[in-house]
Amino acid sequence: MIQKGEQTCKETKADVEKVVEDIIRVFVDALPHVPEHRRLPVLSQLLDTVGAKRFLWVLLVLLFQQHVTKTVILATSGEKDTVLERDTEFWVSVCCEFNVQNQLESLISLLIFLSKLPENKEDDPEQKKSKLQKPKVQKKETELFNVETHSAKQLRHFKFLSVSFMANLLASHTFVGKVVEFKAVEELQELEQKVLEEVLCYIKLVAGSVEANADKPTVKFWRALLNKTYELLDKVNALLPTETFIHVIRGLMSNHLPSVRRKAMDLLNNKLQHQTSWDEQQIELLLELVEDLLSVAQGKGNLEGEEQAINRQTALYSLKLLCKCFGSHKQQLFVPVLNAAVDLLSAEQPEEKNIVGSALLCIAEITSTIQALAIPQLPKLMPALLTTLKHRKELLTSEIHLLSTVTALQKVLETLPHFLSPYLQDSLLQV
Protein backbone atom coordinates (compact mmCIF):
# COMPACT_ATOMS: atom_id res chain seq x y z
CA MET A 1 0.00 0.00 0.00
CA ILE A 2 2.80 2.43 0.94
CA GLN A 3 4.79 1.68 -2.23
CA LYS A 4 1.70 2.22 -4.40
CA GLY A 5 0.92 5.43 -2.52
CA GLU A 6 4.34 6.84 -3.45
CA GLN A 7 3.54 6.43 -7.13
CA THR A 8 0.10 8.11 -7.02
CA CYS A 9 -1.04 11.71 -6.76
CA LYS A 10 -0.25 14.01 -3.83
CA GLU A 11 -3.70 13.64 -2.27
CA THR A 12 -3.45 9.84 -2.20
CA LYS A 13 0.12 10.02 -0.91
CA ALA A 14 -1.03 12.32 1.92
CA ASP A 15 -3.85 9.91 2.76
CA VAL A 16 -1.40 7.00 2.93
CA GLU A 17 0.93 8.99 5.19
CA LYS A 18 -1.97 9.84 7.50
CA VAL A 19 -2.94 6.16 7.74
CA VAL A 20 0.66 5.17 8.54
CA GLU A 21 0.92 7.94 11.15
CA ASP A 22 -2.23 6.62 12.81
CA ILE A 23 -0.77 3.09 12.82
CA ILE A 24 2.46 4.34 14.43
CA ARG A 25 0.41 6.24 17.02
CA VAL A 26 -1.39 3.00 17.98
CA PHE A 27 1.97 1.27 18.54
CA VAL A 28 3.30 4.20 20.60
CA ASP A 29 0.18 4.29 22.76
CA ALA A 30 0.49 0.55 23.37
CA LEU A 31 4.22 0.73 24.14
CA PRO A 32 3.90 1.07 27.97
CA HIS A 33 2.05 -2.29 27.95
CA VAL A 34 4.77 -4.07 25.95
CA PRO A 35 7.54 -5.82 27.93
CA GLU A 36 10.69 -3.68 27.90
CA HIS A 37 12.83 -6.28 26.13
CA ARG A 38 10.27 -6.41 23.27
CA ARG A 39 9.85 -2.67 22.69
CA LEU A 40 12.92 -2.09 20.51
CA PRO A 41 12.31 -5.13 18.23
CA VAL A 42 8.64 -4.15 17.81
CA LEU A 43 9.36 -0.56 16.77
CA SER A 44 12.29 -1.64 14.61
CA GLN A 45 10.09 -4.13 12.75
CA LEU A 46 7.34 -1.52 12.40
CA LEU A 47 9.68 1.01 10.76
CA ASP A 48 11.23 -1.67 8.55
CA THR A 49 7.70 -2.31 7.30
CA VAL A 50 6.50 1.28 6.77
CA GLY A 51 9.91 2.75 5.83
CA ALA A 52 12.31 4.45 8.26
CA LYS A 53 13.32 7.00 5.62
CA ARG A 54 9.84 8.56 5.68
CA PHE A 55 8.52 7.70 9.13
CA LEU A 56 11.35 7.52 11.68
CA TRP A 57 10.92 11.21 12.49
CA VAL A 58 7.15 10.70 12.88
CA LEU A 59 7.80 7.96 15.44
CA LEU A 60 10.16 10.28 17.32
CA VAL A 61 7.56 13.07 17.43
CA LEU A 62 4.95 10.69 18.84
CA LEU A 63 7.41 9.26 21.40
CA PHE A 64 8.33 12.77 22.58
CA GLN A 65 4.65 13.68 22.76
CA GLN A 66 3.93 10.61 24.86
CA HIS A 67 6.76 11.49 27.24
CA VAL A 68 5.56 15.09 27.61
CA THR A 69 1.88 14.30 28.09
CA LYS A 70 1.84 10.99 29.93
CA THR A 71 5.17 9.65 31.19
CA VAL A 72 6.22 12.84 33.01
CA ILE A 73 2.78 13.29 34.60
CA LEU A 74 2.81 9.74 35.98
CA ALA A 75 6.36 10.04 37.33
CA THR A 76 6.99 11.68 40.69
CA SER A 77 9.23 14.75 40.82
CA GLY A 78 12.20 12.72 42.06
CA GLU A 79 11.87 10.18 39.23
CA LYS A 80 11.58 12.60 36.29
CA ASP A 81 15.30 12.80 35.56
CA THR A 82 15.66 9.03 35.73
CA VAL A 83 12.67 8.52 33.43
CA LEU A 84 14.03 11.08 30.95
CA GLU A 85 17.45 9.42 30.91
CA ARG A 86 15.87 5.99 30.37
CA ASP A 87 13.57 7.22 27.60
CA THR A 88 16.35 9.13 25.82
CA GLU A 89 18.56 6.06 25.83
CA PHE A 90 15.71 4.04 24.33
CA TRP A 91 15.00 6.63 21.62
CA VAL A 92 18.69 6.70 20.66
CA SER A 93 18.65 2.90 20.44
CA VAL A 94 15.62 3.03 18.14
CA CYS A 95 17.33 5.52 15.81
CA CYS A 96 20.57 3.56 15.72
CA GLU A 97 18.72 0.50 14.42
CA PHE A 98 18.75 2.29 11.06
CA ASN A 99 21.43 3.63 8.74
CA VAL A 100 23.01 7.05 9.16
CA GLN A 101 21.19 8.54 6.12
CA ASN A 102 17.79 7.71 7.62
CA GLN A 103 18.84 9.21 10.94
CA LEU A 104 20.13 12.46 9.44
CA GLU A 105 17.08 12.81 7.18
CA SER A 106 14.89 12.29 10.26
CA LEU A 107 16.73 15.07 12.12
CA ILE A 108 16.19 17.38 9.14
CA SER A 109 12.46 16.57 9.10
CA LEU A 110 12.25 17.03 12.86
CA LEU A 111 13.92 20.47 12.70
CA ILE A 112 11.57 21.56 9.90
CA PHE A 113 8.62 20.30 11.96
CA LEU A 114 9.76 22.25 15.04
CA SER A 115 10.16 25.43 13.00
CA LYS A 116 6.53 25.17 11.85
CA LEU A 117 5.09 24.87 15.34
CA PRO A 118 3.68 28.12 16.78
CA GLU A 119 5.93 30.12 19.08
CA ASN A 120 3.45 30.05 21.94
CA LYS A 121 0.01 28.59 22.58
CA GLU A 122 -2.48 31.46 22.41
CA ASP A 123 -4.01 32.12 25.80
CA ASP A 124 -6.17 35.11 24.81
CA PRO A 125 -9.89 34.11 24.71
CA GLU A 126 -10.61 36.53 21.84
CA GLN A 127 -7.81 35.03 19.76
CA LYS A 128 -9.15 31.55 20.48
CA LYS A 129 -12.63 32.65 19.45
CA SER A 130 -11.43 34.15 16.18
CA LYS A 131 -9.53 30.95 15.44
CA LEU A 132 -12.62 28.84 15.99
CA GLN A 133 -14.52 30.94 13.47
CA LYS A 134 -11.96 30.30 10.75
CA PRO A 135 -12.31 27.23 8.52
CA LYS A 136 -10.15 24.43 9.81
CA VAL A 137 -7.13 23.66 7.68
CA GLN A 138 -5.37 20.54 8.82
CA LYS A 139 -1.60 20.78 8.76
CA LYS A 140 0.87 18.04 9.38
CA GLU A 141 2.36 19.75 12.43
CA THR A 142 -1.09 20.16 14.03
CA GLU A 143 -2.00 16.55 13.27
CA LEU A 144 1.13 15.10 14.87
CA PHE A 145 1.26 17.55 17.77
CA ASN A 146 -2.10 19.22 18.21
CA VAL A 147 -1.39 22.52 19.94
CA GLU A 148 -5.06 22.96 20.84
CA THR A 149 -5.09 19.79 22.97
CA HIS A 150 -1.80 20.52 24.73
CA SER A 151 -0.94 23.16 27.30
CA ALA A 152 1.57 25.94 26.65
CA LYS A 153 3.93 24.24 29.09
CA GLN A 154 3.69 20.94 27.19
CA LEU A 155 4.43 22.74 23.90
CA ARG A 156 7.57 24.29 25.40
CA HIS A 157 8.58 20.97 26.96
CA PHE A 158 8.14 19.22 23.60
CA LYS A 159 10.40 21.71 21.82
CA PHE A 160 13.15 21.51 24.44
CA LEU A 161 12.95 17.71 24.60
CA SER A 162 13.25 17.42 20.80
CA VAL A 163 16.38 19.59 20.61
CA SER A 164 17.95 17.86 23.63
CA PHE A 165 17.37 14.46 22.06
CA MET A 166 19.00 15.47 18.77
CA ALA A 167 22.10 16.67 20.64
CA ASN A 168 22.23 13.37 22.56
CA LEU A 169 21.84 11.30 19.41
CA LEU A 170 24.69 13.10 17.59
CA ALA A 171 26.97 12.56 20.59
CA SER A 172 26.16 8.85 21.01
CA HIS A 173 28.98 6.37 20.32
CA THR A 174 26.77 4.18 18.14
CA PHE A 175 25.77 7.07 15.88
CA VAL A 176 29.35 8.38 15.58
CA GLY A 177 30.49 4.84 14.76
CA LYS A 178 27.93 4.62 11.93
CA VAL A 179 29.17 7.95 10.54
CA VAL A 180 32.78 6.75 10.57
CA GLU A 181 31.85 3.49 8.82
CA PHE A 182 29.74 5.16 6.13
CA LYS A 183 31.51 5.04 2.77
CA ALA A 184 29.45 7.37 0.53
CA VAL A 185 31.28 10.54 1.56
CA GLU A 186 29.55 12.95 -0.84
CA GLU A 187 26.06 11.77 0.13
CA LEU A 188 26.91 12.08 3.82
CA GLN A 189 28.40 15.54 3.25
CA GLU A 190 25.19 16.77 1.59
CA LEU A 191 23.07 15.49 4.47
CA GLU A 192 25.38 17.00 7.10
CA GLN A 193 25.24 20.34 5.30
CA LYS A 194 21.45 20.19 5.23
CA VAL A 195 21.33 19.38 8.96
CA LEU A 196 23.66 22.30 9.66
CA GLU A 197 21.49 24.62 7.54
CA GLU A 198 18.32 23.62 9.38
CA VAL A 199 20.01 24.02 12.79
CA LEU A 200 21.17 27.51 11.83
CA CYS A 201 17.68 28.43 10.61
CA TYR A 202 16.19 27.15 13.86
CA ILE A 203 18.74 29.13 15.89
CA LYS A 204 17.62 32.29 14.10
CA LEU A 205 13.97 31.44 14.86
CA VAL A 206 14.64 30.79 18.57
CA ALA A 207 16.83 33.91 18.88
CA GLY A 208 13.88 35.92 17.52
CA SER A 209 11.63 34.35 20.15
CA VAL A 210 14.11 35.33 22.90
CA GLU A 211 13.80 38.95 21.79
CA ALA A 212 10.01 38.79 21.33
CA ASN A 213 9.53 37.36 24.84
CA ALA A 214 12.17 39.47 26.59
CA ASP A 215 9.63 41.04 28.98
CA LYS A 216 7.62 37.85 29.60
CA PRO A 217 8.05 35.08 32.21
CA THR A 218 8.81 32.58 29.40
CA VAL A 219 12.06 34.36 28.48
CA LYS A 220 14.00 31.91 30.69
CA PHE A 221 12.68 29.01 28.64
CA TRP A 222 13.62 30.66 25.33
CA ARG A 223 17.14 31.39 26.57
CA ALA A 224 17.51 27.78 27.72
CA LEU A 225 16.23 26.53 24.34
CA LEU A 226 18.65 28.83 22.51
CA ASN A 227 21.56 27.51 24.57
CA LYS A 228 20.45 23.94 23.90
CA THR A 229 20.19 24.67 20.15
CA TYR A 230 23.73 26.08 20.18
CA GLU A 231 24.79 22.86 21.91
CA LEU A 232 23.17 20.95 19.03
CA LEU A 233 25.12 23.11 16.58
CA ASP A 234 28.36 22.24 18.38
CA LYS A 235 27.50 18.53 18.14
CA VAL A 236 26.90 18.77 14.37
CA ASN A 237 30.11 20.74 13.97
CA ALA A 238 32.12 18.23 16.01
CA LEU A 239 30.80 15.44 13.82
CA LEU A 240 32.43 16.84 10.67
CA PRO A 241 35.98 15.87 9.69
CA THR A 242 38.02 18.96 8.75
CA GLU A 243 37.79 18.40 4.97
CA THR A 244 34.03 17.85 5.20
CA PHE A 245 33.69 20.89 7.46
CA ILE A 246 35.38 23.11 4.86
CA HIS A 247 33.19 21.78 2.03
CA VAL A 248 30.05 22.27 4.15
CA ILE A 249 31.07 25.83 5.07
CA ARG A 250 31.58 26.62 1.40
CA GLY A 251 28.11 25.27 0.65
CA LEU A 252 26.58 27.33 3.47
CA MET A 253 28.27 30.46 2.12
CA SER A 254 25.93 30.29 -0.87
CA ASN A 255 22.78 29.85 1.25
CA HIS A 256 19.97 32.31 0.45
CA LEU A 257 19.63 33.37 4.12
CA PRO A 258 22.10 36.09 5.25
CA SER A 259 21.98 34.78 8.84
CA VAL A 260 23.08 31.31 7.70
CA ARG A 261 25.94 32.77 5.66
CA ARG A 262 27.07 34.81 8.65
CA LYS A 263 26.91 31.86 11.02
CA ALA A 264 28.93 29.82 8.50
CA MET A 265 31.65 32.47 8.66
CA ASP A 266 31.45 32.46 12.48
CA LEU A 267 31.99 28.67 12.48
CA LEU A 268 34.95 29.09 10.13
CA ASN A 269 36.45 31.79 12.36
CA ASN A 270 36.06 29.61 15.43
CA LYS A 271 37.81 26.73 13.65
CA LEU A 272 40.69 28.97 12.48
CA GLN A 273 41.20 30.31 16.00
CA HIS A 274 41.24 26.96 17.79
CA GLN A 275 42.77 24.46 15.37
CA THR A 276 46.56 24.72 15.23
CA SER A 277 47.61 22.02 12.75
CA TRP A 278 46.47 21.73 9.14
CA ASP A 279 47.64 19.49 6.34
CA GLU A 280 48.38 20.79 2.85
CA GLN A 281 45.06 19.66 1.33
CA GLN A 282 43.09 21.36 4.10
CA ILE A 283 45.03 24.60 3.61
CA GLU A 284 44.31 24.56 -0.13
CA LEU A 285 40.60 24.03 0.54
CA LEU A 286 40.51 26.88 3.06
CA LEU A 287 42.31 29.28 0.75
CA GLU A 288 39.72 28.59 -1.92
CA LEU A 289 37.30 30.47 0.36
CA VAL A 290 39.26 33.73 -0.01
CA GLU A 291 37.50 34.76 -3.22
CA ASP A 292 34.02 34.11 -1.76
CA LEU A 293 34.84 35.99 1.44
CA LEU A 294 36.30 38.90 -0.50
CA SER A 295 33.08 39.18 -2.49
CA VAL A 296 31.09 39.43 0.77
CA ALA A 297 33.53 41.96 2.26
CA GLN A 298 33.18 44.21 -0.79
CA GLY A 299 29.41 44.26 -0.36
CA LYS A 300 28.51 42.38 -3.51
CA GLY A 301 25.01 40.91 -3.50
CA ASN A 302 21.50 42.04 -2.66
CA LEU A 303 21.84 42.59 1.09
CA GLU A 304 21.00 45.95 2.55
CA GLY A 305 21.50 47.84 5.77
CA GLU A 306 22.54 46.24 9.03
CA GLU A 307 22.46 42.67 7.70
CA GLN A 308 25.00 43.51 5.01
CA ALA A 309 27.24 45.49 7.39
CA ILE A 310 27.49 42.61 9.88
CA ASN A 311 28.23 40.06 7.14
CA ARG A 312 30.93 42.32 5.65
CA GLN A 313 32.61 42.74 9.04
CA THR A 314 32.52 38.99 9.62
CA ALA A 315 34.03 38.32 6.16
CA LEU A 316 36.86 40.80 6.80
CA TYR A 317 37.61 39.08 10.09
CA SER A 318 37.66 35.69 8.32
CA LEU A 319 40.14 37.05 5.77
CA LYS A 320 42.29 38.43 8.58
CA LEU A 321 42.39 35.02 10.29
CA LEU A 322 43.16 33.18 7.04
CA CYS A 323 46.06 35.55 6.42
CA LYS A 324 47.31 35.11 9.98
CA CYS A 325 47.22 31.31 9.67
CA PHE A 326 48.46 30.79 6.11
CA GLY A 327 49.48 34.15 4.60
CA SER A 328 53.22 33.76 5.18
CA HIS A 329 53.30 30.80 2.76
CA LYS A 330 50.75 32.21 0.28
CA GLN A 331 51.60 35.92 0.27
CA GLN A 332 50.54 36.64 -3.31
CA LEU A 333 47.02 35.37 -2.65
CA PHE A 334 46.39 38.15 -0.11
CA VAL A 335 47.52 41.08 -2.28
CA PRO A 336 43.99 41.48 -3.78
CA VAL A 337 42.55 41.31 -0.26
CA LEU A 338 44.83 44.17 0.86
CA ASN A 339 43.85 46.18 -2.22
CA ALA A 340 40.15 45.68 -1.43
CA ALA A 341 40.60 46.64 2.24
CA VAL A 342 42.46 49.82 1.24
CA ASP A 343 39.65 50.65 -1.22
CA LEU A 344 37.15 50.38 1.64
CA LEU A 345 39.27 52.75 3.73
CA SER A 346 39.66 55.34 0.94
CA ALA A 347 36.15 55.08 -0.59
CA GLU A 348 34.52 58.36 -1.71
CA GLN A 349 31.31 57.37 0.04
CA PRO A 350 32.33 56.79 3.71
CA GLU A 351 31.76 53.23 4.87
CA GLU A 352 30.08 52.33 8.17
CA LYS A 353 32.50 52.70 11.12
CA ASN A 354 32.56 49.04 12.08
CA ILE A 355 33.34 48.02 8.50
CA VAL A 356 36.21 50.53 8.39
CA GLY A 357 37.49 49.20 11.73
CA SER A 358 37.44 45.62 10.43
CA ALA A 359 39.17 46.74 7.21
CA LEU A 360 41.90 48.46 9.24
CA LEU A 361 42.59 45.31 11.28
CA CYS A 362 42.67 43.31 8.05
CA ILE A 363 45.18 45.81 6.58
CA ALA A 364 47.33 45.54 9.71
CA GLU A 365 47.47 41.74 9.54
CA ILE A 366 48.07 41.49 5.79
CA THR A 367 50.73 44.23 5.69
CA SER A 368 52.77 42.58 8.45
CA THR A 369 52.42 39.21 6.68
CA ILE A 370 53.07 39.99 3.00
CA GLN A 371 55.60 42.75 3.81
CA ALA A 372 57.30 44.03 0.61
CA LEU A 373 54.29 43.03 -1.51
CA ALA A 374 52.33 45.77 0.32
CA ILE A 375 54.63 48.58 -0.90
CA PRO A 376 52.59 49.36 -4.07
CA GLN A 377 49.57 50.12 -1.87
CA LEU A 378 51.37 52.69 0.33
CA PRO A 379 50.56 55.79 -1.83
CA LYS A 380 46.85 54.99 -1.40
CA LEU A 381 46.95 53.47 2.09
CA MET A 382 48.94 56.08 4.02
CA PRO A 383 46.92 59.18 2.99
CA ALA A 384 43.68 57.34 3.82
CA LEU A 385 45.10 56.21 7.18
CA LEU A 386 46.30 59.72 8.06
CA THR A 387 42.96 61.20 7.04
CA THR A 388 41.23 58.78 9.40
CA LEU A 389 43.55 59.92 12.21
CA LYS A 390 42.64 63.57 11.55
CA HIS A 391 38.97 62.90 12.39
CA ARG A 392 39.69 62.85 16.10
CA LYS A 393 36.14 63.48 17.26
CA GLU A 394 34.93 60.38 15.40
CA LEU A 395 37.82 58.30 16.74
CA LEU A 396 37.21 59.35 20.32
CA THR A 397 33.55 58.35 20.11
CA SER A 398 34.50 54.77 19.23
CA GLU A 399 37.30 53.09 21.13
CA ILE A 400 37.31 50.10 18.75
CA HIS A 401 37.68 52.40 15.73
CA LEU A 402 40.54 54.26 17.44
CA LEU A 403 42.40 51.06 18.38
CA SER A 404 41.94 49.65 14.85
CA THR A 405 43.41 52.80 13.28
CA VAL A 406 46.39 52.94 15.64
CA THR A 407 47.03 49.21 15.20
CA ALA A 408 47.06 49.55 11.41
CA LEU A 409 49.47 52.51 11.54
CA GLN A 410 51.76 50.70 13.99
CA LYS A 411 51.93 47.54 11.83
CA VAL A 412 52.69 49.55 8.68
CA LEU A 413 55.43 51.52 10.48
CA GLU A 414 56.99 48.34 11.90
CA THR A 415 56.85 46.42 8.62
CA LEU A 416 57.87 49.05 6.05
CA PRO A 417 59.82 51.77 7.95
CA HIS A 418 62.21 52.53 5.04
CA PHE A 419 59.38 53.44 2.65
CA LEU A 420 57.46 55.90 4.81
CA SER A 421 59.62 59.06 4.63
CA PRO A 422 56.99 60.97 2.54
CA TYR A 423 54.46 60.38 5.33
CA LEU A 424 56.74 60.68 8.37
CA GLN A 425 55.94 64.27 9.31
CA ASP A 426 52.17 63.83 9.04
CA SER A 427 52.38 60.56 10.98
CA LEU A 428 54.22 62.24 13.86
CA LEU A 429 51.81 65.19 13.89
CA GLN A 430 48.71 63.00 14.00
CA VAL A 431 50.00 60.55 16.59
Does one domain contain both 83 and 214? yes
pLDDT for the residue 8 = 55
Does one domain contain both 316 and 421? yes
pLDDT for the residue 125 = 42
Does one domain contain both 189 and 311? no
Does one domain contain both 233 and 313? no
Cα separation, 370 vs 328, whole angstroms: 7
Per the domain annotation, does 134 fall within a domain?
no
3-state DSSP assignment of residue 253? coil
Instruction: List C-alpha distances in Å: 214 to 93, 122, 211, 220.
Output: 38, 17, 5, 9
Cα separation, 182 vs 190, whole angstroms: 13
Q: Provide the sign of the torsion angle of the four alpha carbons 232, 235, 239, 241, taken in this order.
A: positive
pLDDT for the residue 369 = 94
pLDDT for the residue 72 = 67
Does one domain contain both 207 and 303? no
Specify the number of domains making up the chain. Answer: 2
Query: Can you list the residues of the chain whose pLDDT is less than 50?
Result: 1, 5, 123-138
Does one domain contain both 297 and 236? no
Per the domain annotation, does 366 fall within a domain?
yes
Does one domain contain both 322 and 421? yes
Does one domain contain both 228 and 318? no
Per the domain annotation, does 314 fall within a domain?
yes
Per the domain annotation, does 265 fall within a domain?
no
Does one domain contain both 190 and 338? no
Per the domain annotation, does 370 fall within a domain?
yes
Per the domain annotation, does 263 fall within a domain?
no
Per the domain annotation, does 253 fall within a domain?
no
Does one domain contain both 305 and 402? yes
Cα separation, 60 vs 48, whole angstroms: 15
pLDDT for the residue 124 = 41
Does one domain contain both 169 and 298? no
Cα separation, 71 vs 91, whole angstroms: 14
pLDDT for the residue 21 = 92
What is the residue range of 418's domain?
Answer: 270-278+289-431
Per the domain annotation, does 138 fall within a domain?
no
Contacts of 104 (CB under 8 A, 6+ apart): 188, 191, 192, 194, 195
Instruction: List C-alpha distances in Å: 273 to 29, 84, 142, 361.
Output: 49, 36, 44, 16
pLDDT for the residue 184 = 85
Does one domain contain both 16 and 55? yes
338 touches 385 (CB < 8 A): no
Angle at 52 between CA 49 and CA 54, to 5 degrees: 110
